[in-house]
Amino acid sequence: MNITELARILRVTPQELKDKLPLIGFDIGQKAIKIDNATAQRIIREWPFLIRRLEQQKIGETKNSQTLSQEHAVEKKIVIVPNFIIVKDFAVLAQLPISKVLAQLMKNGIFTSMNERIDADTAMIIGADLGLDVKLKEGEDETEAKEDEKLKKILSLEKEEDLIKRPPVIVVMGHVDHGKTKLLDAIRKTNVVAGEAGGITQHIGAYQVERKGKLITFIDTPGHEAFTAMRSRGAKVADIAILVVAADDGVKPQTVEAFRIIEAAKIPYVVAINKIDKPGADINKTKQELSTQLNITPEDWGGKVTCVPVSAKDGTGIEELLDMILLTADMEAGNMKANPNAPAVGTVVESNVNKGAGPVATILIQNGTLHLGDQLCFEGKIYGKVRAFKNYKGEIITAASPSTPIMVIGLKVAPRVGDILEVGEGEKVKFNKTKMGGKDMPTKQETEQEKAKIKKLKLIIKSDVFGSAEAIEESLEKISTELVGIDIIHKGLGNITEGDVIKAEASGAVVIGFNVKTPVQIENLIREKNVKAKTFNIIYDLIEYARKEMEALIEIEIKRIDMGRLKVLAIFRTEKNAQIVGGKVLDGKIEKNGLIEVTRDKNIIAMGKMTMLQYNKQEVSSVEENQECGIRYEGKPLIQVGDILQIYKEERIIKKL
């Protein structure tokens, strides 16, 4: 393998790679051009651990040098962390902006989101770069497991004889342009249970299919963000993942991130090599990239990972993919059991507030059976009673067993994606605000009042990795003020698509891309629809552009400045829309091109402007107090002798963020 190719895979420069390899036990020499494949594969596989060890050595050396000069050294802030910690929680402990923490993670080649977890070693590495002394909390091994396996704890209380096999729950992940949606559509069209496929997704973000007499549940909604949010709240939603990779495009940064999320969730997975119908499709090349970049060895190459070639467009390989899912489910059958007779427990997959029905949540039942009238609680607080619920076809049903996705109506408040709701007794809480997406949102009346006060820049953000989108969102929130804010109506991964342009046209949003491309046909569509769209490679340029767009939304403040008053002593000429008058300046100073307010008997009777100012028959720019002058007044010709003219000017104040 070429050194440059190896450096590209590891996301470092060739020179940096040559400098670091001797430090981690691979001395290939500064003049090396190639490296044998076996050694290259070992370096790729062990690179994160080797680099981490190297960083820890540097941290140790830094600490030693600091100890020697302790008298003169500035004391570092000590941050105590558990074995694993959510990124945003680490930022809170460190008292640092989340964007700064995410940026530091990106510098270290870790592309993650604010809701994902990092281990203590990673926290120590980025902590050292941020000037922190990060230490591991003692006795944290048991605490971490408690939060991460809430559902497993509930199931552990069930008796083994009460548990029965339930349908497997599948989540599809991968690069957004590699055919995830089309794959789901292909499965839905050919395998939807007892009904027509059309329009299902508008009812609910999950559905069930039948294969060889067995049910399989697919979750349609969790992209990287939602899936990560679920895991961060201790919810194990999916049993099996499908990693989609396009045969004509291979492994992309989003593919790597999706695989990292699957690995972190510790669930089995099947690889679907999609778009095999395309002329440029190369299945073997795709498998090679999976092997070199993700360490995924296909079964036909002697590994353990099932790779199924499919074409979502033609329907090729869909049945084989479902068979592989069932086979994987049989192998994991011990982990896919539930007690249908217990009080229901389920995880929120989608959540929103419907104008007619109020708070509505899509819930995946994971243990027990949910019935009409059941009371749902979250963390000991009553969220409401089940007034009605529908299945994935939009049909009203009366009971939902394990692995069944349902849309629940009757909640008092919209829960967050990833919240685990349980049937039982709890504390009654008066909800004055609607809880949505982890934030307290104002009631409808308050929301309308706020909208009237605050203008918002609507954005659609597309980025290369989800961690970048999170960092961008956090940075944009910082520049928001009481006058103008940010409204991110959509956030996704991959290149700008036709769907993004259509959304932007409908909502009046600006499309912003970070480290992504805009295909030529999409650029034409952007011009045709007259939509604002811009891509960036540097986050600071992106933030500056958003700042200018936000400033353009702020209303310009008009400030009136009174200059002086003139008493009219004579009318020299009256025209259709103008008058030439003479008078004496009572106070202040009047200037040419000022605006005029005509007052008679203390009442304002007309408004106009001054277009000429003369003193001693000479045109001047200003006239002082107690001096007499002549002016040309343009406006409705109502001025009479004795009227008082208030001369003023208006200044336009453009506010900056």
Report the chain (657 residues): mean pLDDT per 10 consecutive residues: 80 78 73 78 75 68 53 64 81 86 74 70 80 75 46 70 88 75 77 37 63 85 49 64 89 78 83 90 91 88 90 89 92 85 86 74 90 88 87 86 89 79 82 44 41 75 73 77 82 83 88 89 90 87 87 80 93 90 93 91 89 91 93 87 92 70
Q: What DSSP string describes 31-92? A: T--B--HHHHHHHHHHHHHHHHHHHHHHHHHHHHHHHHTTTTSPPPEEEEE-SEEEHHHHHH
Predicted local confidence at residue 409, as pLDDT: 87
Q: Are 41 and 98 in contact (CB under 8 A)?
A: no
332 Rama sector, left if φ>0, alpha if ψ -120 to 50, beta otherwise: alpha
3-state helix, strand, coil split of the chain in percent (to 5) is: 35, 35, 30
Measured in whole angstroms, the distance separating CA 368 from the mean position of its chain's CA atoms is 33
Domains and CATH numbers, the chain: 3-68 (no CATH), 77-148 (no CATH), 161-338 (3.40.50.300), 345-444 (2.40.30.10), 454-553 (3.40.50.10050), 557-653 (2.40.30.10)
Q: Are 304 and 291 in contact (CB under 8 A)?
A: no
Q: Kindly list the distances between the CA atom of residue 425 and the CA atoms of 157, 333, 390, in Å, as whole numbers in the listed order.
A: 18, 32, 24
Phi, psi of 353, deg, nearest 5: -110, 115
CB atoms within 10 A of CB 180: 22
Give pairs for 117-120: CB < 8 Å, separation 24+: 117/84, 117/85, 117/86, 117/87, 117/231, 117/232, 117/264, 118/84, 118/85, 118/87, 118/90, 119/83, 119/84, 120/81, 120/82, 120/83, 120/84, 120/85
Measured in whole angstroms, the distance separating CA 280 from the mean position of its chain's CA atoms is 32
Structure tokens of 76? 């570092």
Angstrom distance (rounded) from CA 423 to CA 444: 29
Residue whose pair of structure tokens reads 């304002």 in the numeric block: 604
pTM of the model: 0.51
Q: What DSSP string describes 577-637? A: SEEEEEEEEEEE-EETT-EEEEEETTEEEEEEEEEEEEETTEE-SEE-TT-EEEEEEEESS
Predicted local confidence at residue 438, as pLDDT: 38
